[in-house]
Structure 1
Amino acid sequence: MSEQQIIQYLPSSSYIEFLKAATDGVSGKTHLANIKWEDGIERDSWVKIYTATKPRGLVNEMIGYLLGSALNLPMPPRAGFLCLENKILNQNLVNTLSQVDQYRGFTFAWITEDVKGRNLRVELEENPAHYHIITEYIVTCLRDWDNLANMIAFDDWILNTDRNVGNTIQLPDRTFSLIDHGECLQGGEWQEPQLLDAHCPHIGFGDNLHLRLLYEKNKNNLFSMEDTLAELENAKLLHITALKKVAQEIKMHLTDLIGDEIVETGIEELPNYPVTETVFNFLSNRATAIKKFNERCDTFLSTNSIARPLS
């Protein structure tokens, strides 16, 4: 790994010991393990294996981590791709891998260092009698979080369809760390035509708890709507610079993960088009679409009743 590279590539020998299975998460098979990172230090880390039903999961995780890090959003301190030999995996899991992974005898997992925080979704599920108390606590912490507007703009940029309290891990100081971006770009099984329109709506805006909370934080201001929209626009303006910071690494990983996959366009002048270029152009065009983002936010805040949801 070069000095500037953020995401690490780790060999199978870096996997030291299984610790425990994850109690939530559906997009990938996840467990906690002891992993030796490139600096030689062993750390508790989350290992997520994507099956054949989520072929774009690794691509999405990489994009979410690099762009979030470039925006200085709180992310796990380390992330990488871990090579896992099929012989150490449960056979039932091996049977769910892609045919390529089954044939070659290994797969790549997404790994992130454990941030030692609280998974509030698990706490909700384990304490149904205190559901409303815990929910009120979550709402208060999110509303007061300094990075709330930045997270909203970030999730819209990458079309994250799965932001929830289970992947917004609470830290001891009542702030949060963002994990699990395997469902961005319309989901872990996206097809190239879905990324041709960089101005497509973000389905997360359909009932966006975080947008509601951001407005609620400003609701006592004289110009509450204007203040909320200004905060969101300021967050959006950071995206162009952030993409420039990690553009080369994103392109490198796209080449590694997607390779020479092409789309047949049916156009004589351009019969084939690399999927890697489609993905990067989508991110680039969406990063610069500040007016479209402002319109989405304005439409949501103008047409939805702003009330605190408890479900």
Structure 2
Amino acid sequence: MIELIEDDGLVDVLKVVSSTSGGVSAQTILANVEWPDGEIEETFVKFFSPALRVKEIINEAFGHMCTNLVGLEQPLRVGIIKVNVEDIPDQVRNEFEGLEDNFASNHGYLYAWATKSIGSQSLKKIYFHTDDVSSAENFINAMQAWDDLPKLITLDDWIGNSDRNAGNIIFINSNRFAVIDHGRLFGVINWLSEPLMPGNEFRNIAFEVFRIAHGGKPHAIACTPILHEAEVQREKFEGLRDNLKRVTLDLFKLLKMPANSDVYTDSFINYCQYRTATSKARFTAKLSLHEVAV
């Protein structure tokens, strides 16, 4: 469930986490946040630059719902938090200084994305170190040993997640990971300015890990769980499709972007519809398989 946290929910800032590299697009803080049921939880709050705010929040919410659908672990609570302009942390204000924010100016508040802290580290922090030549190999081995890797491979294929990396996979314990961050979906960087082309391919990091772990030519038996997940997730998407559309339209309304919201929402649903319907055939072709019993 995606919760709505009111403007008194940001209790205090604990620390600044990071700025997104490659340009000013997001600023994340760790804060104590009061959720709608009154519980105060350590929560990551991600503020987005004005031009990308709607796109990023929609992606995070849409990706969260789809990830939930396939049964991958995620933060236990996620939501959209309303933050009054005067309560925006100085670190965030400084990060976006000079950027025109008509929404915040007109309404006196803005929205940010909130996720309850999982309380653990990402695989990037665990495995990738500048002085460790085995970092990539260790990461690949850990991913390959993960029972849910086929779920992630197939999910990323049909939601078009081209930004999967070790930094958004969180270690819980051995053979148990959670996934976070869904900022880049539908096979494009920014659907506000790019058409969605469901037939186009993109880099699926989880699938690359699988192929590398199997020497580039996985045996048909090793491929069976991926093809099975492709079928399972196609059926699950059919059951979620209408709710995905309704929630996405509601989010557009909340974010006050009614113009073309139905067109964008239909394009998201159509993209996933095509990708789920063709997922099994696509993986069969990529893996140079003829037919594998599932």
Could you say what secondary structure the match of 2:13 adopts?
strand
In structure 2, how many angstroms separate the alpha carbons of the residues matched to 1:31 and 1:94? Answer: 17
What's the CA shift string for 1:101-159, capped at 9, x where partnerless?
3332211111111111212324566x422x23444432221110001111011111111
Aligned residues: 278
Once the two structures are superposed, residues 193-220 of structure 1 have per-residue CA deviations (whole angstroms, 9 ceiling, x without a partner) of 522x322212336x9532324535x97x
CA distance in 2, matches of 1:73, 1:286: 19
What are the equivalent positions in structure 2 for 1:175-254 lying under 5 Å apart?
A: 175-191=176-192, 194-195=195-196, 197-204=197-204, 209-213=208-212, 215=214, 224-254=218-248
Match of 2:40 among 15, 39, 42: 42
Give the SS at the match of 1:274: helix
Compute the RMSD of aligned alpha carbons: 2.9
Cα distance 1:215–1:124, how it changes in 2: closer, same or farther (>3 A)?
closer
**Contact 2:44/2:116 (<8 A) preserved:** yes
- Cα-to-partner distance string for 1:156-195 (whole Å, 9 max, x where unaligned): 1111111111001111334211000111223452237522
1:29 corresponds in structure 2 to 27
Q: What amino acid maps onto 1:274 in structure 2?
A: V
* Contact 2:157/2:275 (8 A) holds in 1: no
Distance (whole Å) between structure 2 residues aligned to residue 97 and residue 124 of structure 1? 39
Deviation of the 1:245 alpha carbon: 4.5
Aligned counterpart, 1:128: 130
Corresponding position of 1:100:
103
**CA gap 1:275/1:261 in 2 versus in 1, 3 angstroms:** farther
Name the counterpart of 2:146.
145
- Tell me if the contact between 1:148 and 1:214 (Cα under 8 Å) persists in the aligned partners: no
For the Cα contact (< 8 Å) 1:28–1:50, is it kept in 2?
Answer: yes
Q: Judging changes above 3 Å, is the alpha-carbon distance between structure 1 residues 85 and 296 closer, same or farther for their aligned structure 2 residues?
A: farther
Where does 1:107-122 land on structure 2 (aligned, <5 Å)?
107-122=110-125
Alpha-carbon spacing, 1:136–1:193, altered in 2? closer, same or farther (3 Å): closer
State the TM-score, normalizing by the size of structure 1.
0.78
CA distance in 2, matches of 1:97, 1:115: 33
Give the alignment of 1:5-20 within 5 angstroms. Answer: 6-20=1-15
Tell me, in whole angstroms, the C-alpha distance in 2 between the residues paired with 1:60 and 1:179: 12
Partner of 1:22, secondary structure, is strand
TM-score, scaled to structure 2: 0.82
In structure 2, the CA distance between the partners of 1:99 and 1:141, relative to structure 1 (3 Å rule), is: same
The whole-number CA distance in structure 2 between the counterparts of 1:237 and 1:21 is 42
Residues 214, 124 of structure 1: alpha-carbon distance in 2 compared, 3 angstrom cutoff: closer
Tell me the residue number matched to 2:283.
294
Q: CA deviation at 1:80?
A: 0.9
Show the counterpart of 1:278.
267
**1:193 and 1:77, CA in 2 relative to 1: closer, same or farther beyond 3 A?**
same
For residue 80 of structure 2, give the secondary structure of its aligned residue in structure 1: strand
Q: Assess if the C-alpha contact under 8 Å between 2:122 and 2:169 holds in 1.
A: yes
Do 1:121 and 1:166's aligned partners in 2 also have CA atoms closer than 8 Å?
Answer: yes
Per-residue deviation, residues 224-260 of structure 1 (Å, max 9, x unmatched): 4312332211111122333244434422332134353
Give the match for residue 158 of structure 1: 159
Q: Do the aligned partners of 1:67 and 1:242 also contact (CA within 8 Å) in 2? A: no
Supply the distance in 2 between the matched residues of 1:107 and 1:20 (Cα, whole angstroms): 20
Q: CA deviation at 1:283?
A: 1.6
